[in-house]
Amino acid sequence: DVKVTQSSRYLVKRTGEKVFLECVQDMDHENMFWYRQDPGLGLRLIYFSYDVKMKEKGDIPEGYSVSREKKERFSLILESASTNQTSMYLCASGQGGSGANVLTFGAGSRLTVL
Amino acid sequence: GIQVEQSPPDLILQEGANSTLRCNFSDSVNNLQWFHQNPWGQLINLFYIPSGTKQNGRLSATTVATERYSLLYISSSQTTDSGVYFCAVERSPMNTGFQKLVFGTGTRLLVSP
């Protein structure tokens, strides 16, 4: 089974802190994604990467950056956390190009910014 | 961008009942997936079904791509089926390039004993 592991299940941070969310997948998938999930808004794509050192903005990239130095690891960075970034963050990985990308998700990281 | 609408938004069932969840989308797609999010937040991929019909145990799904909808059937529901069901689609590309999966807002299902 593909496993997508997110480093922290729950985090509490203060406004202005730098936050790192780590995601590791163990099936050599090319594509990795970061989503955030908020009540009533569903899942929204923050950033994705289809290769090492490659990154593409999703629908809501403002306030976030990402890093993909190794194929198995995709990190989401909040340079200066704000209260409106309190959310559930979900990492996913997938293999394949257009039309064939089937996603597997991690368990999620629930971030609270005070 | 492509719009994805799911219905109903909420559904309450008695254990053993059957249900049908619907996903409508506004454009041609070449990728459609159904997910179940359990009460602890874990999203599980149920089906990859850009067209046709698939079955997995008590669950089955049908996508009619030409009419831009997909249906998820749950038969003999169990309390463990509770959670939120999401449909996600990828628009058929107009040109080369990576298309994104767009999620609907989900159907929240509660199955009571």
Can you give the residue range of the structural domain that contains A53?
Answer: 4-8+20-94
Determine whether the interchain pair B98/A107 forms a contact, defined as Cβ–Cβ distance below 8 Å: no
> A8 in helix, strand or coil?
coil
- pLDDT of amino acid A101: 81
User: What is the per-residue pLDDT across A76-93, written as a single tens digit (0 to 9) for each?
Assistant: 999 999 999 999 999 999
- pLDDT of amino acid A96: 75
Amino acid at A98: S
- pLDDT of amino acid B22: 98
For residue B93, say if its preceding peptide bond is cis, omega within 30 degrees of 0: no
- pLDDT of amino acid A65: 97
CATH number reported for the structural domain that contains residue A58 in this entry: 2.60.40.10
Per-domain residue ranges of chain B: 4-96
pLDDT at position B95 over 60: no
- pLDDT of amino acid B93: 67
Q: How many CB pairs under 8 A join A and B?
A: 65
Residue corresponding to tokens 């990828």: B90
How many angstroms separate the CA atoms of B49 and B83, rounded?
21
User: What is the per-residue pLDDT across A28-77, written as a single tens digit (0 to 9) for each?
Assistant: 999 999 999 998 888 999 999 988 988 999 989 999 999 999 999 999 99
Token pair belonging to A87 = 């959310």
Residue A114 domain-assigned (yes or no): no
Residue A111 domain-assigned (yes or no): no
Determine whether the interchain pair A103/B104 forms a contact, defined as Cβ–Cβ distance below 8 Å: no
CATH of B4-96, one of 1.10.730.10, 1.10.3720.10, 2.90.10.10, 2.60.40.10: 2.60.40.10
CA distance to A15, A17, A37, A89, B101, per residue, from A43 (Å):
23, 24, 5, 9, 10
Determine whether the interchain pair A105/B44 forms a contact, defined as Cβ–Cβ distance below 8 Å: yes
Q: Residue B47: is it exposed, middle or buried by C-beta count within 10 angstroms (0-12/13-18/19+)?
A: buried
How many angstroms separate the CA atoms of A42 and A23, rounded?
20
Q: How many domains does chain A have?
A: 1
